[in-house]
Amino acid sequence: MKKEITLKINGAEYTSEIEPRTLLVHFIRENASLTGTHIGCDTSSCGACTILIDGKSAKSCTILAIQAVGKEIMTVEGMATADGPHPLQEGFKENHGLHCGFCTPGMMLRAKELLEKNPNPTEEEIRWGISGNLCRCTGYNNIVKAIIYAGAKMRGEELPSTEPEFID
């Protein structure tokens, strides 16, 4: 009982014949071959599969592909523009907000929605804001720093230092 669907991902249309039970994350990875979106768990806990659906962050492992028909999906591959990387992509690199890189796409897309809703979040708001996204490498300090950096960039303010801070 396959069904042909078309999904709009990063502005491009992907048409595939799928089973209705196909998870959106699998459609994105397998059918659209956009493998930046990752799978880190089977209980909707880790957020490595986070994408934006009509601008709202969602865990794509917890949505059926057919539910996303007619919506605008953004994955990590759609973050950069012709002008260059998104401020979050720049912020994560400049502030060492990633190590293995596996949580990074989901983390950045979640942060994107966070910054659009709350352009100047406090550290605590950022920590709660990304609490649906697990990272096993960074200890989160530099992810927080990366999001603060991106926020400043998006607001057009002076960028905070990206030098690591050490106890003297």
Partner 1 sequence: MIQCKTSKEISGMGHSMKRKEDDRFVHGKGHYVDDVKLPGTLYMDIVRSPYAYAKIKNIDTTEAMKVPGVLAVVTGRDLEKYNLHWMPTLMSDTQMVLPTDTVMYQAQEVAAVIATTKYGARDGREAVRVEYEPMKAVVDPYKALEPDAPVLRTDKEGKKDNHIWHWEVGQKEETEKIFNEAEVVVKEQMHIPRIHVSSIETCGCVADYDKINNHLTMYMTTQAPHAIRTVIALVAGHVGLTEEKIRVISPDIGGGFGGKVPVYPGYVIAIAASFLIGKPVKWIEDRSENLQADSFARDYHITAEMAGTKDGKILATRMKVLADHGYTDASANPSKFPTGMFSIGTGSYDYPHAFMEADAVYTNKPPGGVAYRCSFRVTEAVHAIERITDRYALEIGKDPAAVRFQNFIQKDQFPYHSPTGWEYDSGDYVQGLEKAMKAVDYDGLRKEQAEKRKKGELMGIGLSTFTEIVGAGPSKDFDILGIKMFDSAEIRVHPTGKAIARFGTKSQGQGHETTYAQIIAEELGIPASNIQVEEGDTDTAPYGLGTYASRSTPTAGAAAAIAARKLRDKARKIAAYLLEVSEDDLEWETGKFYVKGMKDVPEKSKTIQEIVFAAYTNHPQGMEAGFEATHYYDPPNLTFPSGAYICVVDIDPETFEIKVRRFVAIDDAGNIINPMVAQGQVHGGLTQGLAPAMYEELIYDEDGNILNGTFMDYLVPTAVESPSWETGHTVTPSPHHPIGAKGIGESPTVGAPPAIANAIVDALKPYGITHLDIPITPYKIFKALKEKGVLDKKISE
- Spatial CA neighbour of 133 closest among 66, 54, 65, 37: 37
Assess 2 for contact with partner 1 (CB under 8 A).
no
DSSP secondary-structure letter at 9?
E
The window from 1-9, 26-34, 63-71, 112-120 that contacts partner 1 (CB under 8 A) reads 26-34
Burial status of residue 156 (CB atoms within 10 A of its CB: 0-12, 13-18, 19 or more): exposed
> Please, which residue, 30 or 72, has the CB nearer to partner 1?
30
Kindly give the residue spans of alpha helices, DSSP state H, lying in 19-165: 24-26, 87-94, 104-117, 123-129, 141-155
CA distance 112 to 75: 11
Assess 31 for contact with partner 1 (CB under 8 A).
no
The structure tokens listed for 118 are 């709350």
The interface mask with partner 1, positions 63-102, x = CB under 8 A, is ------------xxx-xx----x---x--xxx-x-xxxxx
The interface mask with partner 1, positions 116-155, x = CB under 8 A, is -------x--xxx-xxxxxxxxxxxxxxx-----------
Interface contacts to partner 1, rule CB under 8 A: 19, 21-22, 26, 29-30, 33-43, 45-46, 48, 75-77, 79-80, 85, 89, 92-94, 96, 98-105, 108, 123, 126-128, 130-144, 163-164, 166-168
